[in-house]
Chains A and B, each alone.
Chain A
Amino acid sequence: MKEEKQPDGISVHTGFPNPATDTSLRSLDLNQLLIQHSASTYFFRVRGDQWQNDGVFDGDIAIVDRSLDPRKNDTVIWWDEHQDSFAISPYRSMPAGATLWGVISSTIHQFRKINHE
């Protein structure tokens, strides 16, 4: 960027225009990455540490999109009526007769929690 000295001492910037003022450029948005259908997306808190080796930890947040149709390799949330609680498992090991609640599209693990208060 050049700065030209004007006779009366006022400096004028005549360099490359700031691309950030072009509204067609958007900053990265995590919602866009993680949420395909906002109306059908709900969040759950993951409980249990059996899947640590797969990178899913107790306390992680599961993003659940109810509009997705489950496929063989999906991980899903269903209602476990014997335990009276929601359960997470691969779709293929969901017990027959259990009610599917939704398909998990991602989980979020925070190494450092942001303090919101």
Chain B
Amino acid sequence: MSKVFALIDCNNFFVSCERLFRPDLETKPVVVLSSGDGCAVARSNEAKALGVPMGAPVFKHRELFEKHHIVKFSANFELYGDISKRITALLATITPRIEIYSVDESFLDLTELPIQDYEAWGRKVRAAIMKDIGIPVSIGVAGSKTLAKLAAEIAKQHTGYRGAFSFIDLAEHRREAALGSMRVEEIWGVGRRLAPKLRSSGISNALALSRMLPRHAQQLMGVHGRQMVSELNGTACLSFTPEHAPAKSILRSRTFGEDTSQVHVLEAAVATLGARAAFSLRKDELLARRIGLFTNTNRNKPGYQRWVREIKLNTPTNDSGYIISTLVDELDEFVSSAQHYHQLGVFLYDLVPQSELQTDLLGYVDTAHHDRAQARMQALDQVNAKWGRGKLYYAAERLSDRWQPKHQIRSPRFVSKWDELPEARIV
């Protein structure tokens, strides 16, 4: 049986979340800025039309922002995460076969569902998400994930489709017109690297790519290209993975609220980010075989420098204490009070399931030590689960909070703090 997939894609998701509690901004240009308030990571249609590029650093476009009174928000991830969970919960009432692709995109496998008219179905789902949760979405339906993603993009760009577009049972001339209207850059899997390659081979839109001979696609782009051509013709090649896929690597990084030269501020950042990363590791029941950290000065200032250190561990671990002390030792080896550090991150990778702790051949793995660490981490996580995140912590985490990003223009945490609820007046 051929497959049917839907992509539910939230329109300018972070901006839509802000507008839910600020209906006055419905038709105004709005952007959401990354942590550290550096760059625009979400733009309303109005902001896009004014020419604010994705990832635009505010300081480079200050005039544009001021001239058009573009409204800026610092990212409010507690809000976006909560709204995202609500959308997933609503979609889960349609089918349990959901693949959460990102905070604002989910695939549904509709193959087994008795749906007659996919566009009518899509419009109904879109209306339900708009009414119940308050977020506008675009919905694409097709026989493959790549084509469903393209269909959602078509639905988003052409208001005439009222938010839903389906390639299933589409008349041939309409299918060709739809594919012909989409530039290769808009196809999922055509990155910045492949697009010029395709264009120089005379392939500028999705229709041309779909007509490429699989053999040629493979010569030009490898197996990935061959798959892409099949997917564009509605044959599913990419797998659908509804289960929570365990992380392949974990990164926790922050741009500092202010640049710092003080070692203890950096140590506090390493400890806090290290503890958070180790916690995610334990939540997925994983151990890391390699851990590392990076830090850099401000990229936009002269003398930009970046340092990266990584360590291969003899015994894989998810022990916060061990990870923190190892990384702080590493930091202390190169850190200098002559530098102005701007950003710092901790990463854990080469992850293995906890159940697969293998002794290395020479027997260096100290299992007794490992078991004691596990018991300690279990106690730590239980205390924090019961009394709230961050109640029990490593002393190094609180050496300083001067590295914490500033959220000067963050909206209230409307849905996660009792004392920040939106207000309504009796009239």
Contacts and interface: CB of A to CB of B under 8 A. Distances in A.
A116 B422 CA distance: 19
Contacts of B177: none
B425 interface: yes
B375 interface: no
B133 A87 contact: no
Interface residues of A, number: 33
A84 B423 CA distance: 11
Given A37-B132, A39-B132, A66-B132, A46 B86 contact: no
Interface in A58-111: 61-62, 66-67, 77, 79-81, 83-89, 99, 101
B277 to A, nearest CB: 27
B423 A45 contact: yes
Interface in B277-313: none
A116 to B, nearest CB: 7
B194 interface: no
B422 A86 contact: yes
A16 interface: no
Contacts of B424: 44-47, 62, 77, 85-88
Given A39-B90, A43-B421, A61-B421, A80 B427 contact: yes
A56 B425 CA distance: 12
B57 interface: no
B24 interface: yes
A30 to B, nearest CB: 14
A37 B93 CA distance: 12
A66 B133 contact: yes
A55 interface: no
B421 A44 contact: yes
A50 interface: yes
Contacts of A79: 23-24
Contacts of A49: 426
A38 interface: yes
Of B134, B414, B425, the most chain A CB neighbours within 10 A belong to B425
Chain B contact residues, majority secondary structure: mixed
Of A40, A46, A62, the most chain B CB neighbours within 10 A belong to A40
A81 B90 CA distance: 30
Contact of A45 (B23, B131, B134, B422): B422
Nearest to B421: A45
Nearest to B89: A39
Given A40-B86, A42-B415, A44-B421, A66 B131 contact: yes
A49 B134 CA distance: 28
Contacts, number: 80
Given A39-B86, A39-B89, A42-B415, A66 B134 contact: yes
Interface residues of B, number: 20
B418 interface: yes
A56 B426 contact: yes
Interface in A1-54: 37-40, 42-51
Contacts of B134: 66, 101
B132 A48 contact: no
Nearest to B422: A44
Contacts of A37: 132
Nearest to B418: A116
Contacts of A67: 131-132
A83 B133 contact: no
B415 to A, nearest CB: 7
B23 A99 contact: yes
Contacts of A46: 423-424, 426
Interface string B62-89: 0000000000000000000000001101
Contacts of B427: 48, 80, 87-89
Nearest to A44: B424
A87 B89 contact: no
Contacts of B423: 44-47, 85-86
Interface of B: 23-24, 86-87, 89-90, 131-134, 414-415, 418, 421-427
Given A39-B132, A80-B425, 10 more contacts: A37-B132, A40-B86, A40-B133, A44-B421, A62-B424, A66-B132, A80-B427, A81-B24, A85-B423, A85-B424
Interface of A: 37-40, 42-51, 56, 61-62, 66-67, 77, 79-81, 83-89, 99, 101, 116
23 contacts: A37-B132, A39-B132, A43-B418, A43-B421, A44-B421, A44-B422, A44-B424, A45-B421, A45-B424, A47-B426, A49-B426, A51-B426, A56-B426, A62-B424, A66-B132, A67-B131, A77-B424, A79-B24, A83-B425, A87-B424, A87-B425, A87-B426, A116-B418
